[in-house]
């Protein structure tokens, strides 16, 4: 809860914005930032999700702001501080400005922009056995899914009326 890991992003150096491959661990209790081993590729507009206690899926993004091709997805081990697998373009999601969220044992990707600069409405699920994305039949209803933010919302905080189906998957 008190430790956060930040992957890549953008920095301002000599009044110019550049993308970075830096990985840092921030302990908010101790108020200390620890540098970690860097990513293979600099990236901005990507998404990350913890797959288990050690491995983080770093998905998509661009090598630099204004770029036009998505970076390949990768698996980063926060214990050994190394990229343990760089996924092929065929295995990767190929999106930017998207959200990735883990709900129970499922990792889902929503929104963003694809390689054709379109906002896909399809929801994709990451298969941790094959390290590939599978498009689901479910779709988002929104017409603009770029820069979408997704967060887990506890079912116990929903206030449903009798015969309501808002909490039905």
In tens, the pLDDT along 52-89 reads 999 999 999 998 887 778 899 999 999 999 999 999 99
How much is the pLDDT for 95?
A: 93
pLDDT higher than 80, residue 166 = no
CA–CA gap between residue 102 and residue 7 (Å, rounded): 17
Query: Tokens representing 126?
Result: 């990451």
How much is the pLDDT for 158?
A: 59
pLDDT in tens, 87-117: 999 999 999 999 999 988 899 999 888 888 8
How much is the pLDDT for 85?
A: 95
pLDDT higher than 90, residue 5 = yes
CA–CA gap between residue 116 and residue 128 (Å, rounded): 26
pTM (two decimals): 0.83
pLDDT higher than 80, residue 126 = yes
Average pLDDT over residues 109-128: 89
User: How many percent of the chain have pLDDT more than 70?
Assistant: 85
CA 64 from chain center: how many Å?
17
- Contact status, residue 43 vs residue 19, Cβ threshold 8 Å: yes
How much is the pLDDT for 28?
A: 93
The residues pairing with 13 across neighbouring beta strands, listed in sequence order, are 16
pLDDT higher than 90, residue 7 = yes
How much is the pLDDT for 145?
A: 66
Q: Pick the more confident residue, 167 or 148.
A: 148
How much is the pLDDT for 77?
A: 97
User: Nearest 5°: CA angle at 92, between 128 and 152?
Assistant: 60
How much is the pLDDT for 39?
A: 94
Q: Judge residue 63's burial from the number of C-beta atoms within 10 Å of its C-beta, 0-12 exposed, 13-18 middle, 19 or more buried.
A: middle
């Amino acid at each position: 809860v008190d430790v956060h890991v930040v992957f890549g992003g953008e920095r301002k150096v000599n009044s110019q914005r550049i993308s970075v491959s830096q990985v840092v661990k921030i302990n908010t209790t101790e108020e200390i930032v620890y540098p970690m081993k860097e990513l293979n590729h600099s990236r901005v507009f990507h998404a990350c999700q913890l797959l288990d206690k050690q491995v983080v899926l770093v998905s998509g993004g661009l090598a630099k702001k204004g770029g036009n091709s998505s970076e390949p997805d990768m698996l980063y081990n926060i214990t050994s501080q190394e990229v343990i697998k760089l996924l092929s373009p065929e295995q990767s999601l190929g999106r930017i400005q998207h959200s990735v969220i883990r709900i129970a044992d499922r990792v889902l990707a929503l929104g963003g922009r694809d390689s054709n600069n379109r906002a896909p409405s399809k929801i994709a699920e990451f298969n941790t056995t094959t390290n590939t994305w599978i498009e689901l039949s479910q779709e988002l209803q929104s017409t603009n899914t770029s820069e979408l933010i997704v967060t887990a919302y506890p079912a116990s905080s929903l206030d449903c009326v009798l015969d309501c189906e808002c909490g039905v998957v």
